[in-house]
Amino acid sequence: MKFSVVKTLGYFLGGIWTARGGRKRIEARQRKNLRRLVKTAREKSPYFKELYAHLPDTGVLKLSDLPVTSKSELMAHFDDWLTDRSLTLAQARQHMESMDNLGVPIGQYAVFRTSGTSGEPAVIVLSASMLEFIFGLALARMSRRQFQFAKKIERSGTNVIVTGGNGHFVGAGFDLLRQNLKIPLKREFQFIPAEQAIEETIKQLNEITPMASIVTYPSMLTILTREQELGRLHMEPAAIKVAGETFTPELRKRAQKAFPSLQFDILDAYGCTECLFMAFECDCGRQHVPEDWVILEAVDENHQPVADGTLSATALLTVLANEAQPLIRYELGDRLRFYPDPCPCGSPFRSFEVEGRQATVVRVGEVTLSPLAFDLEHERARRVQMIQTSENVFEVRAELLTEENPEEVLEQVIESVGEVFTKNGLPGVKIHKSDAPPQLTASGKFHEVISRPLIPARER
Ligand SMILES: [Zn+2]
């Protein structure tokens, strides 16, 4: 696997040139990239060759002609999915068995896995060109303010990453891959595994001064914000970046207040293992799609497009830079709403907001509730979690601050949760307490509410 600085520069300069040309140039570039990807997929991926067998010539194809693909289908045909026959699923899995191989390329590729919250984890293959795209295009899409800021904080202290460390996850592995490939970047990172006890994380964070930036999941930021508010954590990051989960405006406001050391708005990086650079946040706080290389479609349950301004049931992702493992109209499960008006920042790229992910919504019978409806904070607990064990039954778990009277904490939480269900017309819901510790996802994310997935949703 060889990373090319020249090709990265190509993505950067091409990206600048495309943006300057406005909508017309962006759409032309997207069309050209899509046809090239479809052509490669048809020629080199036996799976896509068969899937697209009945379709017209690539030169006249439209995106809507292409069938939707799903993670489970693609994973079931992994060895026929890739456009390169030299890497098999068995080889990738064997490579990932040892944590010593985290961020170590296998032949021409790097491999990572998703957490598999909703079933079998996906194995994602990154080629050098995907990395060149990520570095080059992300730089091209940065605003001047973001660029100046990145330069400023680069050497102002330690950059910390708090994500899952119990598997080949991209959060912990990407920087190791960068080091292995000798990709020049002045920033150095310190990794803290999200799975360890919060107390240990706080201890480590308190020792890091000066701290330039911290990158973590919104669920971990929620916990850190609260610990900072209560005076147990004293970190002073100049910048915070969140990724991997929905970032709510409420948390943004609260964290910005709790960390007065911040010199920049909290950056919300909407991405996933399948496409690390899926959107970019502008100075107005909107997410924009880098449409020359990424296609995001907001669609209903039947995969038909929804109008701008309407919340989608799911989203379809097409990654035009990944020719090794084609992701074309790949169902993500995230719910998006495209803005009907142009963004005040003046970007020609379409903008959207992420409303949440299907798996995080709680469904009981015909009633759908947001996890935010429940108040799962307790002054005597570090974190409280509610798990839906069957349609009408929930379980409450907690990581307590003191050993003193744990029953009382759980009972108070159960009472408050029960009130929310009753208020929403669900008095019959049963809530039990559990002595087990809160459950984390395979990639170390803490979800306050774990609902029963009713429809296949993308894992985080
Ligand atoms: Zn904007």
Ligand 1 center–CA 91 separation, angstroms: 42
Contact 369, 386 (CB under 8 A): no
CA of 278 to the centre of ligand 1 (A): 15
The answer to whether 143 and 219 have CB atoms below 8 angstroms apart is: no
> Which tens digit of pLDDT belongs to each residue from 234-248?
999 999 999 888 888
Tell me, in angstroms, the distance from the centre of ligand 1 to residue 281's CA.
7
Distance 353 CA to ligand 1 centre (A): 11
pLDDT tens column, 368-395? 777 767 888 888 888 899 999 998 999 9
Distance in Å, CA 347 to ligand 1 centroid: 6
The candidate with the shortest Cα–Cα distance to 426, out of 369, 372, 384, is 369
Mean pLDDT of 395-401: 90
- pLDDT band at residue 55 using 50, 70 and 90 as cut-offs: very high
Are the CB atoms for 271 and 243 separated by under 8 Å?
Answer: yes
CA distance 355 to 82: 32
pLDDT in tens, 82-94: 999 999 999 999 9
Distance 320 CA to ligand 1 centre (A): 22
User: Tell me, what's the pLDDT at 116?
Assistant: 60
Q: Is the sign of the CA dihedral 370, 264, 267, 347 positive or negative?
A: positive
Nearest by Cα to 431 from 366, 372, 362: 362
Mean pLDDT of 338-343: 97
Tell me the CA–centroid distance for residue 153 and ligand 1, in Å. Answer: 23
Tell me which of 2-6, 271-275, 354-358 is least confident. Answer: 354-358
Whole-number percent of the chain with pLDDT over 90: 64
Domains of the chain: 5-357 (3.40.50.12780), 362-450 (3.30.300)
**Whole-number pLDDT of residue 402:** 79
The CA 277 to ligand 1 mean position distance, Å, reads: 16
Residue 460 has pLDDT above 70, yes or no: no
Which runs of consecutive H residues, i.e. helices, occur in 103-248?
A: 128-140, 144-153, 170-180, 198-207, 218-229
pLDDT band at 207 (very low <50, low <70, confident <90, very high): very high
Instruction: Round the average pLDDT of the chain to a whole number and report it.
Output: 90
Task: Choose among 15, 457, 169: nearest CA to 161.
Answer: 169
At 262, is the pLDDT very low, low, confident or very high (cuts 50, 70, 90)? very high
Bridge partners of residue 152, in order along the sequence = none
Q: How far is the CA of 282 from the centre of ligand 1 (A)?
A: 5
pLDDT of the residue at 119? 54
Q: Is the pLDDT of residue 186 over 70?
A: no
Residues 408-418, mean pLDDT to the nearest whole number: 92
Reply yes or no on whether the pLDDT at 202 is more than 90.
Answer: yes
What are 212-237's pLDDT values in tens digits?
999 998 888 988 998 999 999 999 99
* Across 9-21, average pLDDT: 97
Ligand 1 centroid from CA 65, angstroms = 30
Query: Looking at 113-117, 347-351, 405-409, 419-423, which range is the least confident one?
Result: 113-117
46 C-alpha to center of ligand 1: Å?
40
Residue that is written with structure tokens 């296998």 in the block: 106
- Across the range 399-413, mean pLDDT stands at 86
Three-class SS state of 45:
coil
What average pLDDT does range 14-43 have in this prediction?
A: 97
Answer yes or no: is pLDDT of 358 > 50. Answer: no
> 51-60, 264-273, 346-355, 446-455 — which is least confidently predicted?
446-455
Q: How many Å lie between the centroid of ligand 1 and the Cα of residue 202? A: 35
Percent of the chain with pLDDT over 70: 95
Q: How far is the CA of 212 from the centre of ligand 1 (A)?
A: 25
Res 418 pLDDT > 90: yes
Model confidence at 458, pLDDT cuts 50, 70, 90, reads: very low
Task: Output the pLDDT for position 459.
Answer: 38
Region 435-447: mean pLDDT is 83
Expressed in angstroms and rounded, the spacing between residue 288 Cα and the centre of ligand 1 is 7
430 has a pLDDT exceeding 50: yes
Given a cut of 60, whether residue 410 has pLDDT beyond it is: yes
The least confident of 104-118, 226-240, 332-346 is 104-118
Report whether pLDDT(455) > 60: no
pLDDT confidence of residue 456:
37
Ligand 1 midpoint to CA 351 (Å)? 7
pLDDT of residue 117: 58
Q: What spacing in Å lies between the alpha carbon of 168 and ligand 1's midpoint?
A: 33
Question: How far is the centre of ligand 1, averaged over its atoms, from the C-alpha of 309 (Å)?
Answer: 16
Angstrom distance (rounded) from CA 196 to CA 162: 10
348 CA to centre of ligand 1 in angstroms: 9
451 or 204, higher pLDDT:
204
Closest of 79, 122, 46, 66 to residue 274, by C-alpha: 122
Contact 309, 317 (CB under 8 A): no
Residue (of 80, 157, 158, 170) closest to 124 by Cα position? 170
More confident residue, 165 or 70: 70
pTM: 0.83
Residue 211 Cα, ligand 1 centroid: separation in angstroms? 28
Query: From ligand 1's centre to the CA of 143, what distance in Å?
Result: 10
Residues 249, 57: Cα–Cα separation, whole Å: 46
How many A from CA of 339 to the centre of ligand 1?
A: 10
Task: Please tell me the total number of residues recorded for the chain in this structure.
Answer: 460
